[in-house]
């Protein structure tokens, strides 16, 4: 049941990995590049995870966590699937399954984590937040290249009409450090700016 619930929660972002009806910009194309079908061949991909921000009900900071992408066998049909394992300061949980040939589970996890954290810290609607982020990554953003490394950045709420009620999240910047388009994203970061205690969700490939 937990896997079904998580799949429903992530569905809003998981559809971004499929061909989109909206015209994506260059930055969005780079972030949502087709990285499947995944073939880990017994390997585990591991990202260091930290989450920080002001105290608020429902918000859980993470000092030294991790997110691992592994391959498993779906017991229902004995076919390979992908699974995420999240370890935090207080618990370990498995998230999935995700299809081998689908989009990027780590990207989906990161965007949903950011959405839920922002909703907890602002009291805003996760549906509204999720849709604004979707729109930003498809229609906007910028990308800078240095050699084989590309950095894509997005500011989903910079011109939002509700910016005055966002407790600093109107400054939120999503940043993705990318290498070869077919390879996992090297770094995913969501960060706010300003004088008040800021929010940061950061994942770095180890």
| Whole-number average pLDDT of the chain | 86
CA distance 37 to 21: 22
First to last CA, the chain: 31
Phi-psi region of 58 (alpha: psi -120 to 50; beta: other; left: phi over 0): left
Confidence of residue 185 (pLDDT cuts 50, 70, 90): very high
CA distance 90 to 160: 35
Look-up: residue for tokens 């061949």?
41
* Average pLDDT of the residues in 133-141: 86
The ranges assigned to domains in the chain are: 2-205
**Reduced to 3 states, what is the DSSP secondary structure of residue 146?**
strand
Tens-place pLDDT, residues 28-41: 999 998 888 888 88
Q: For the CA atoms of 180, 52, 82, 204, what is the dihedral angle to 10 degrees?
A: 30
Going by C-alpha positions, the residue among 13, 28, 179, 23 that lies closest to residue 102 is: 13
Tens-place pLDDT, residues 53-90: 999 999 999 999 999 999 988 888 888 899 999 999 88
Going by C-alpha positions, the residue among 191, 205, 195 that lies closest to residue 52 is: 191
pLDDT score, position 13: 55
- Range with lowest mean pLDDT among 45-59, 107-121, 184-198: 184-198
């Amino acid at each position: 049941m937990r896997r079904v619930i998580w799949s429903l929660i992530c569905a809003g972002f998981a559809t971004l990995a499929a061909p989109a009806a909206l015209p994506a910009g260059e930055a969005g194309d780079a972030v949502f590049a087709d990285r499947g079908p995944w073939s880990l061949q017994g390997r585990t991909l591991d990202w260091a995870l930290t989450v920080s921000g002001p105290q608020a009900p429902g918000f859980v900071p993470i000092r030294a966590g991790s997110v691992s992408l592994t391959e498993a066998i779906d017991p229902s049909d004995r076919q390979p699937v992908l699974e995420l394992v999240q370890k935090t300061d207080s618990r370990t949980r498995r998230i999935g399954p995700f299809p081998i040939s689908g989009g990027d589970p780590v990207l989906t996890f990161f965007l949903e984590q950011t959405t839920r954290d922002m909703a907890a810290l602002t009291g805003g609607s996760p549906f509204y937040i999720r849709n604004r982020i979707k729109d930003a990554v498809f229609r906007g953003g910028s990308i800078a290249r240095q050699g084989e490394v590309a950095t894509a950045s997005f500011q989903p709420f910079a011109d939002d009409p509700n910016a005055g009620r966002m407790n600093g999240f109107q400054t939120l910047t999503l940043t993705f450090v990318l290498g070869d388009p077919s390879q996992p994203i090297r770094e995913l970061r969501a960060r706010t700016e300003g004088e008040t205690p800021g929010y940061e969700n950061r994942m770095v490939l180890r």
